[in-house]
Structure 1
Amino acid sequence: MPRRALRNIPKPPQIFDREWEWSELTAFVSDEEPGPRLAVVSGRRRQGKSFLLKALTAATNGFYFAAVEATRAESLSLLGEEIGRFTDAPVPPRPHHWSEALELLFDLAAERPVTIVIDEFPYLVRGDTSLPSRLQAAIGAGFGRDLRRHPRILLCGSAMSFMGGLLSGTSPLYGRARLNLVVHSLGYREAAEFWGITDPRLAVLTHAVVGGTPAYRREFVADDVPDGLDDFDDWVCRTVLNPMRPIHGEAEFLLAAEPDVRDRALYHSVLAAVASGNHTSGGIASAVGRKATDISQPLTVLKRCGLLTVEADAFRGNRSAYRIAEPLITFHHAVVRRNQALMAERRNLKAAWLLSRDTFLSKVVGPHFEQLCREWVSWHAEPDTFGGLPIEVTSGTVADPAARTSHEVDVVVRGAVGQDHGILLSIGEAKWNKLMDVRHLDRLRHILGLLAARGIDTTHARPACYSGVGFTPELQAAAKRGEVVLVDLGRLYGGA
């Protein structure tokens, strides 16, 4: 078994949340087993990866190097200067190639395990594609003949397509990493706490714009937080709609920063189609005026970049739903992009917002609320809510042959009951801005009947209604009789 350092590395108070990530990182760098160790840290931009790793190197007296877009020669020179500062060398070393640079880095850990962070690693590989192979050779040599050096190397990057392939079966570093950590956005409850928002309705509206990306509060809106529901419209105008604020152009930057994106106009059109409510490949293709085969590559790249997610339809195995992973991108394509001319001059921001507010509520907040309800089931629902352990939470479409239509189901929960897995535990409907009544329950009962007629076991399935406004007394009475699960904003955010 690997030996672990006895010392405890407390998480610095300036790091919000991230307990799990911090524990994984500190466990990695505290491993006292001799020889080199490799970790990969990735995640979409602005999630706080560099902030975490800088804090880690500070807490462990480690070495941190942030690469920049540069030629190989300049990158090696910059690394040598950073090594010189770290070692207090009177003259910084001048490595001529990456094998020599890696030797210098490994030498930093000649006497003790040393945290060595190489941030923006993809920039270095872009300048010299042999770097992963050279690193693999250095690590292999360390295991084979030299256990006196103990570098704890952490490679970090935001180019998700590149970082995702760094440990794949075709990569030289395959099988070398002890840790592969993805830093995700904050959960919706944690995001509300981070923004200091206690009103659940305001929390949903704000999250539908900026999501759980930590940097958007501090660096991008300078701690400008909406001061209640009455301030939300003005907050949107003075922040994300305001061309003078950096957050205004952030959505376009997120796409432009991905190296695999070639035809940016097509990619923007694909994202705009999804933001407008087209979630199938056929619907997206129709919206952008292309054949389905023409958009397969953009869909693949956007998934690999972490900008799109895809999930199989719960009831139609040949159909999948695409969704934008970053709320700010949805907001940009549904609201900002359609009103660029009005927003070019700040005096028209309120007019642009008034024209877009209904679109925001229907195309952005409504679907976003549905996603939050699915996340609530996955992460926060009480263990006995659905009579089993939720394992898979998706959405689905149920055909109604007699009515010659189909029914969209916003929240489909499958899970385990005893030793049986894959049992249908619940189907649910989510309404952001509508008081839900027994008609919604009747609709769910009808859908359960359709599923039972198809041979699907519905004996454990509980109807569920999720509302951003509330429920009628009749529906609340049905919940007390155990006929339906009701989830309002208070329950969604952990209230009574």
Structure 2
Amino acid sequence: MSLPRPPDMFDRDWEWGQLARFVTNDSPGATLGVVSGRRRQGKTFLMEAVCEATGGFYYAATEAVPRAEALRQLGEAVSAFTGTPGQVRFASWAEAIDGLLSLGAERAVPVVLDEFPYLVRDAKDLPSVIQKALSPRREQRTASRSRLLLCGSSISFMGGLLSGQAPLRGRAGLELVVPTFDFRLAADFWGLAAEPRLAALVYFVVGGTPAYRTEYLAGATPASLAGFDPWVVEHVLNPASPLFREVRFLLAEDPALRDTGLYHTVLAAVAEGNATRSGIASRIERRAVDISHHLTVLEDAGLLVADPDAFRRNRPEYRITEPLVRFYHTIMRPHWAQLERVRPGRAERIWRTARPRFLSNVAGPVYERMCRVWCADFAAEETLGDMPGSVESGVVHDPATRTGHEVDVAVRGAGGALLAIGEAKWGDVVGLGHLARLERVAALLLAKGEAPGRLLLFSGTGFMPALREAAARSDGRVQLVDLDRLYTGS
């Protein structure tokens, strides 16, 4: 059975299809699904929509509510759903889960517990209770067709539900992670697909989080390139805007991030360009071993990722996953006190002064990431020479000069062969000098036994005529990717 997509749902075709298949499966026996993803990605929208489409049960837990009150609230929600006001009372979580299973006695029905980590905070045994309730031969399970969906935004917690020796490992029939929109989807969502440069600038600030447009900015979008700077001042640097404190709330809302001050300091160090563990530790004046836990927690929370070096596997570099977090630590946090004390023209002056840092520490790294995503998800096999298996960045050592050459894009095939290397420049008109540098890196790699078949040059500003001529003569070896190709081509 297929479920019609809600008319107000943007994209999420694949996620909707997975949910629809799970909740409409009419096979006997209750089943379990886990839905996670960072906040503001539309998980609640999906959960509510699938319940509306099927007549399912949806319950959103309340933060900081003790066990007895949570059980009372859940009982009231079940009473309202079954049309028996005030008659459902749960004395324990075991009784409550059985009550939820009973909702599927006559038909397959989704039963959603949203903000599930809030429930577990005062009921640590709840995952074990669910494990026992879903025992394969237990009568309450076999007699039910409830499709129990546990949903939450704490990535570290939700991921842990099904890992290792966790009670629910092996019990779930669905594990769905709702991602942020990639840069192309974000451009469509913001209505900027026809203006790729403006779409990229907006993406550098707010990334692909849909709620920032629909809920935080009520659809406010810069109408033109000339309107971008005023849009940043009015909707991001303005203390009255919900986006202003969003990054602080992101960290405060995650139960795994207890010492938020230190976590912010680590993120600020990464935003400044300190990408290695030792570099981060040096910047915040701590030993590398002292920040290992904090880096792991930020990774588990989905705010940091350790990207492997394409050429030195033991030298990963840390990258901030969310553009708004990078923007906050680069632009807003250093001027926080001044921005909070509103004065006419002050935010404009701060933004004007910070614009060079925005280009180097925000636009540059995010644009490089977009170029890697393009190679991984959108580039044609003819462009790269084969289907990509991995797309990373890295450093190639030059023994003659004892220097390292940064490679923004390194594409390997499924078997590990190096297909292409590339350089990405957001603010530079790329010319023959950039190509010569790539040729030098390619020669160094050839000396080490690796020969990239393609050289990729990305630019957010354009290419010199001489470089275009050289690319045209290269028989496809030199590929030029401008913004139009990045957003619409392959």
Relative to the length of structure 2, the TM-score reads 0.97
CA contact (8 A) 2:113 2:149 kept: yes
Find the counterpart in structure 2 of residue 379 from structure 1: 377
Q: Which among 291, 309, 316 is matched to residue 313 of structure 1?
A: 309
Say if 2:49 is the partner of 1:55: yes
Deviations 1:249-305 (A, max 9, x none): 001111111111122221111100111111111111111111111111110000000
Contact 1:121 1:156 in 2 (8 A): yes
2:350 paired residue number: 352
Aligned counterpart in structure 1 of residue 438 of structure 2, from 444, 463, 466: 444
Corresponding position: 1:201 with 2:197? yes
4+ residue runs over 4 A deviation: 141-146
Question: Which residue of 2 is the match for residue 469 of structure 1?
Answer: 461
Match of residue 494 from structure 1:
488
The equivalent position to 2:296 in structure 1, one of 272, 296, 300, is: 300
**1:3 corresponds to which residue?**
none
Indicate whether 1:219 and 2:215 are aligned: yes
CA gap 1:144/1:391 in 2 versus in 1, 3 angstroms = farther
Q: Distance between the aligned counterparts of 1:235 and 1:495, measured in 2?
A: 28
Q: CA deviation at 1:163?
A: 0.4
Residue identity matched to 1:40: V
Match of 2:273 in 1: 277
Q: Does 1:291 align with 2:283?
A: no
Alpha carbons of structure 1 residues 59 and 142: separation in structure 2 relative to 1, 3 Å: farther
Partner of 1:96: 91
CA contact (8 A) 2:24 2:109 kept: no
2:391 match: secondary structure: strand
Counterpart contact for 1:36–1:142, Cα < 8 Å: no
Spell out the pairing of 1:72-151 with structure 2 (5 A cutoff). 72-140=67-135, 147-151=142-146
Question: 1:461: how far off?
Answer: 2.3
Q: 1:157, CA displacement in angstroms?
A: 0.3
Q: CA deviation at 1:142?
A: 5.5
Q: Is the 8 A contact 1:436 1:472 kept in 2?
A: yes
Query: Is contact 1:260-1:301 (8 Å) kept?
Result: yes
**Structure 1: which 5+ residue stretches go unaligned?**
1-6
Q: Which residue number in structure 1 is paired with residue 367 of structure 2?
A: 369
Name structure 2 gaps, 5 residues minimum.
Answer: none
Matched-pair contact (CA < 8 Å) for 1:36–1:143 = no
The answer to whether the aligner puts 1:406 opposite 2:401 as a matched pair is no
SS in 1 for 2:147: strand
Task: From the superposition, tell whether residues 432 and 103 of structure 1 become closer, same or farther in structure 2 (CA, over 3 Å).
Answer: same
Does the residue aligned with 1:178 lie in a helix, a strand or coil? strand
Matched position secondary structure for 2:488: coil
Q: Aligned match of 1:37 in 31, 36, 45?
A: 31
Q: Which amino acid aligns with 1:199?
A: E
How much does 1:170 deviate?
Answer: 1.3
Q: Which residue of 1 aligns with 2:262?
A: 266
Letter in 2 for 1:180: E
| RMSD of Structure 2 on Structure 1 (CA) | 1.2
Amino acid in structure 1 at the alignment position of 2:125: S
Aligned residue for 1:422, secondary structure, equals coil
Q: Deviations over 1:23-74 (max 9, x none)?
A: 0000101111100110000000000000011000000000000001200000
Instruction: Indicate how the Cα distance of structure 1 residues 141 and 495 shifts in structure 2: closer, same or farther if over 3 A, else same.
Output: closer
Give me the whole-angstrom Cα distance separating, in 1, the residues matched to 2:307 and 2:330. 22
- Secondary structure in 1 aligned to 2:417? strand
Amino acid paired to 1:405: T
Shift of 1:149: 1.3
Which residue does the alignment assign to 2:425? 431
What CA distance in whole angstroms lies between the structure 1 residues aligned with 2:358 and 2:284? 21
- Aligned pair count reads 484
Q: Distance in 2 between matches of 1:422 and 1:115?
A: 43
Compute the displacement of 1:90 (Å). 3.8
**What SS class does the counterpart of residue 419 from structure 2 fall into?**
strand
Which secondary structure state, in structure 2, belongs to the residue aligned with residue 301 of structure 1? helix
Judge conservation of contact 2:393–2:409 (CA < 8 Å) in 1.
yes
Secondary structure of 2:434's aligned partner:
helix
Q: How many angstroms does 1:208 deviate by? A: 0.6
**What amino acid maps onto 1:391 in structure 2?**
G
Distance in 1, matches of 2:110 and 2:307, equals 38
Deviation at 1:358, TM superposition (A): 0.9
Residue of structure 1 aligned with 2:16, choices 15, 22, 36:
22
Contact 1:29 1:113 in 2 (8 A): yes
Aligned to 1:184: 179
SS in 2 for 1:399: strand
Cα gap change, 1:77/1:370 in structure 2, threshold over 3 Å: closer, same or farther? Answer: same
* Counterpart among 383, 387, 390 of residue 389 in structure 1: 387
Match of 1:257 in 2: 253
